[in-house]
Amino acid sequence: MTRKNLIAGNWKMNNTIGEAVVLAQEISYDFYRDWLELVDVAVCPPYVDLKPVVNVFEFDHLKVGVGAQNVYWEPKGAYTGEISIEMLREIGCEWCIVGHSERRGLFGETNEDVNKKVKALVDGGIKPIVCVGESLAVRDEGSYLEYVCAQVRAAFAGVDEAAAKSAVVAYEPIWAIGTGRTATPEQAEEVCAAVRATLAEIYADKTADAMRVLYGGSMNEGNAALLLAEPDIDGGLIGGASLKAKSFIEIVKAAM
Ligand code: PGA
């Protein structure tokens, strides 16, 4: 099965509206529309930048997707500080990152929260990018495959097969995020293959085969091609290197 790679930029808490618009314009300027036949591309800016970034790509008729970095699962109500799926859809969000290790680690997001968000997103027609990944302690201790696969099982618990197809899983070892210490292609492939095998336990083989599994963690223009050459790595979730248009574009090119 040939899966189309997805390159998604996770801008994290970077870029004011002005800066976000400039970065989106720089990406758009260097982008050839035809590339999108070979690779899917998305950027995930902070909430306040979403609409301005959607506007840039719409103005340029460029089908680079835009995604949020988080969402709340309830449709509306007394949830101070939260953003609903309908709000994201209204401004043209196609994707939403869920369960990033920074949200799990710094903001106490649990596997149960991730599962509620995944369910609500697929119901609401926004494609989740479900992040999983182990800490250095778990890796050193040797139980990383069990740990990551348990996160996958929890995230997709009760998510029906047809809906799950729209989701993407991103394997992001915490020890590789923002550290410059990328997983080797072999290390990344081992876990991404195990993620796919777990999806195949939950869903039909055909579904697991069609779902994309990304790698994230210090992916850049220098190491992307080797990582993406692995059979079970279907793209990347890019943090630091997505904040420079040139680096991001080079990674997009490596994914074609
Ligand atoms: P990084 O971040 O590429 O800066 O390591 C990846 C991520 O956290 O999604």
Supply φ then ψ for residue 212, to 5 degrees.
-90, 140
- Assign 171 to helix, strand or coil: strand
pLDDT for res 180: 86
117 CB neighbour count, 10 Å cutoff: 25
Question: What range defines the domain where residue 219 resides?
Answer: 5-254
Between CA 121 and CA 98 the distance in angstroms is 10
| SS3 per-residue string spanning 49-110 | HHHHHHHHHHHCCCCCEEEECCCCCCCCCCCCCCCCHHHHHHCCCCEEEECCHHHHHHHCCC
pLDDT for res 152: 98
The identity of residue 57, as a single letter, is F
- Domains contained in the chain, number: 1
Residue 164: CATH number of its domain: 3.20.20.70
DSSP 15: -
Residues 6+ apart with CB under 8 A from 91: 50, 51, 54
pLDDT for res 33: 94
Nearest-atom index, ligand 1, CA of 177? 5
From the CA of 240, how far away is ligand 1's center (Å)? 6
Nearest-atom index, ligand 1, CA of 97? 9
- Assign 255 to helix, strand or coil: coil
From the CA of 215, how far away is ligand 1's center (Å)? 10
Q: What is the pLDDT of residues 52-95, one digit of tens each?
A: 999 999 999 999 999 999 999 999 999 999 999 999 999 999 99
Residues 6+ apart with CB under 8 A from 89: 124, 125, 126
pLDDT for res 2: 84
From the CA of 204, how far away is ligand 1's center (Å)? 31
Nearest CA residue ID for atom 7, ligand 1: 239
* DSSP helix, strand, coil percent of the chain (3-state; round to 5): 50, 15, 35
Angle at 83 between CA 82 and CA 87, to 5 degrees: 160
Please give the span between the terminal C-alpha atoms of the chain, in angstroms, as a whole number: 16
In the set 94, 100, 102, 189, the catalytic residue is 100
pLDDT beneath 70, residues of the chain:
1
In the set 94, 109, 134, 172, the catalytic residue is 172
pLDDT for res 153: 98
From the CA of 96, how far away is ligand 1's center (Å)? 15
**Torsion sign over Cα 192, 167, 16, 101:** negative
**Is 172 tagged catalytic?**
yes
pLDDT for res 102: 98
Between CA 208 and CA 210 the distance in angstroms is 5
Q: How far is CA 1 from the centre of its chain?
A: 21
